[in-house]
């Protein structure tokens, strides 16, 4: 597993891709979930009782930053079909959507635009924010293991390594 | 024709009608200062002022009783602001509804004004934020629960129920939400800090105490 990880991230290009996913995703998710504020001052803040939500966002961002570059590696370096890219992207998107639509500007815009349908959708995403993020993390974890497995087979790595 | 019985009858009916009206109409009076503004915001339809009305700084919160970030701010930041600024007379506070999150949000906001009719606005407000549940529209703020909160505060239930069921404050809550939109509030909680010289600073979201302290201190120095 480690050798597969090293295989992908020994290439500086993929470290760059990973950082390009991790940093914006973490900053955007922490901002819309109100852990970071930019106005009127730049300040970070973890309210009491919100520590678990913060941890899930960090895990989600780390997993996305690992799984998506590994899949890009498979597609680019091994010229394999894009089919398996879906799990990583899907997991990242649903994880990001959860909690984005609460009482903040995104939820307000959605409800103002779509009325009661928007309100129902945002209420669902807010009410089930934590379970949705856990499901997203599970999808990313499964995608990670299947990617590692297929890389081992496709790159003919020693399965015991 | 003897008109005397007719006149007596009319008088009797009139007296009965007046007495009946005085008993049936609850004393639901709305004492609003329609000219009340703070900065660019009309707070006329907002809450009663918490703290000293002549305090140099006014904090205006736009909020929704079902908003979890409002709950976070209420429990994590507001107590320190209350202790350091409101109780010391440096600032006062007004809550203005931006009830948009779910179907129970407007009625919860209306219920606070029904409590205000009995001089219990802030007690009821605090009770709602104390009782908020994590799921929107799961029934914690429906009409029955709102009445139960009123009962537990010892409010006159006949007055409260007639107020809530009649939708007496529906327009007031709508007006407040409109004020939020007109002033560029795009989510809850949203704050405006209005200083002694009319300076106005907007804060979006459940920001921590140091942000409020920095702004308020800069306004009075």
Higher pLDDT, A98 or B153: B153
* Residue of B59, B210, B216 whose CA lies nearest to A44: B210
Between strands B190-194 and B91-97, the pairing is: unpaired
The pLDDT assigned to B21 comes to 44
Taking residue B41's Cβ as centre, other Cβ atoms within 10 Å add up to 23
Residue B62 to residue B50: CA distance in whole angstroms: 14
pLDDT at residue B6, rounded to an integer: 63
Partners of residue B214 in chain A, C-beta under 8 Å: 41
Cβ distance of A103 and B188 shorter than 8 Å = yes
Q: Could you report the per-residue pLDDT of A115-144, keeping only the tens digit for each?
A: 888 888 888 888 888 888 898 899 889 888
Domains and CATH numbers, chain B: 37-220 (3.40.30.10)
Q: Which of B98, B101, B108 is nearest to B142 (CA)?
A: B108
pLDDT at B29: 40
Distance from CA of B133 to the nearest CA of A (A): 10
Q: What is the mean pLDDT of residues A62-74?
A: 89
With 90 as the cut, is the pLDDT of residue A102 above it? no
Is residue B98 within 8 Å of B188, Cβ to Cβ? yes
Residue B85 class from Cβ within 10 Å (0-12 exposed, 13-18 middle, 19+ buried)?
A: buried
The C-alpha atoms of residue B210 and residue A36 are separated, in whole angstroms, by 14
Burial tier of B156 (Cβ tally within 10 Å: 0-12, 13-18, 19+): middle
Q: A30 or A91: whose pLDDT is higher?
A: A30
pLDDT at B3: 63
Mean pLDDT (whole number) for A70-92: 71
Model pLDDT, residue B125 = 97
A118 touches chain B (CB under 8 A): no
Tell me the shortest Cα–Cα distance from A129 to chain B, in angstroms.
10
* Bridge pairing between strands B57-63 and B91-97: parallel
How far apart CA B49 and CA B40 sit, in angstroms, is 17
Tens-of-pLDDT digits for all 221 residues of chain B?
Answer: 566 666 666 666 665 554 444 444 333 344 567 788 888 899 999 999 999 999 999 999 999 999 999 999 999 999 999 999 999 999 999 999 999 999 999 999 999 999 999 999 999 999 999 999 988 999 999 999 999 999 999 999 999 999 999 999 999 999 999 999 999 998 999 999 999 988 999 999 999 999 999 999 999 87
**CA B90/CA B51 separation, integer angstroms:** 9
* Chain Cα centroid distance, residue B16: 36
Mean pLDDT within A60-80 = 84
Find where tokens 């597993």 sit: A1
Distance CA A154, CA A76 (A): 13
- Examine the pLDDT at A154 and tell me if it is beyond 80: no
Q: Tell me whether strands A43-44 and A36-37 are parallel, antiparallel or unpaired.
A: antiparallel
Cis peptide before A40 (omega within 30 of 0): yes
CB-CB contact of A75 with A13 (8 Å): no
pLDDT at A159: 54
Separation of alpha carbons A159 and A1, rounded Å: 8
What is the average per-residue pLDDT within A89-106?
Answer: 73
Q: Do A119 and B103 touch (CB under 8 A)?
A: yes
**Rg (Cα) of chain B, in Å, rounded?**
21
Q: What is the ipTM of this complex?
A: 0.80
* % of chain A surpassing 70 pLDDT: 85
Measured between alpha carbons, how far is A126 from A107 in angstroms, rounded to an integer? 9
- The residue ranges of every structural domain in chain A are 2-154
Task: Find the CB nearest A127 among B64, B136, B215.
Answer: B136
Check residue A1 and give its pLDDT: 56
Q: What is the per-residue pLDDT for B36?
A: 86
Task: Measure in Å the smallest separation between the Cα of A140 and chain B Cα atoms.
Answer: 26
Say if residue B189 is preceded by a cis peptide, omega within 30 of 0.
Answer: yes
B44 to chain A, any CB pair closer than 8 A? The answer is no
Proportion of chain A above pLDDT 90, given as a percent: 29
CA dist list (Å): B185 to B76, B91, B189, B217: 21, 21, 9, 23
> Residue A105 has what pLDDT?
81
């Amino acid at each position: 597993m480690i050798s597969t990880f090293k295989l992908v991230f020994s290439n500086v290009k993929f470290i760059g891709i990973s950082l390009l996913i991790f940093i914006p995703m973490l900053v955007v998710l922490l901002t819309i979930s109100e852990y970071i504020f930019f106005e009127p001052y730049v300040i970070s803040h973890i309210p009491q009782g919100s520590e678990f939500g913060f941890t899930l966002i960090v895990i989600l961002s780390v997993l996305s930053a690992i799984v998506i570059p590994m899949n890009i590696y498979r597609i680019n370096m091994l010229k394999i079909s894009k089919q398996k890219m879906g799990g990583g992207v899907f997991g990242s998107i649903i994880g990001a959507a959860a909690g984005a639509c609460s009482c903040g500007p995104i939820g307000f815009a959605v409800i103002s635009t779509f009325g009661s349908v928007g309100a129902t959708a945002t209420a669902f995403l807010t009410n089930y924010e934590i379970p949705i993020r856990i499901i997203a993390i599970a999808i990313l974890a499964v995608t990670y293991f299947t990617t590692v497995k297929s890389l081992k087979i496709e790159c003919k790595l020693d399965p015991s390594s | 024709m003897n008109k005397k019985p007719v006149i007596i009858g009319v008088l009797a009916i009139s007296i009965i009608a007046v007495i009946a009206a005085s008993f049936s109409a609850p004393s639901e009076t709305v004492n609003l200062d329609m000219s009340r503004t703070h900065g660019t915001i009309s707070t006329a339809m907002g809450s009663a002022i918490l703290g000293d009305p002549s305090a140099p700084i006014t904090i205006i919160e736009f909020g929704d009783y079902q908003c979890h970030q409002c709950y976070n701010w209420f429990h994590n930041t507001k107590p320190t602001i209350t202790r350091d600024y409101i109780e010391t007379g440096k600032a006062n506070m007004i809550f203005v509804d931006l009830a948009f999150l779910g179907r129970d949000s407007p009625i919860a906001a209306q219920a606070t004004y029904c409590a205000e009719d009995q001089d219990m606005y802030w007690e009821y407000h605090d009770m709602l934020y104390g009782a908020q549940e994590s799921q929107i529209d799961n029934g914690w703020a429906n009409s029955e629960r709102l009445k139960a909160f009123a009962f537990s505060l010892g409010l006159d239930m006949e007055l409260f129920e007639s107020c809530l069921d009649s939708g007496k404050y529906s327009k007031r809550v709508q007006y407040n939400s409109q004020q939020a939109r007109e002033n560029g509030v795009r989510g809850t909680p949203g704050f405006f800090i209005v200083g002694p010289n009319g300076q106005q600073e907007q804060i979006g979201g459940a920001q921590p105490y140091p942000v409020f302290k920095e702004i308020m201190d800069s306004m009075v120095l």
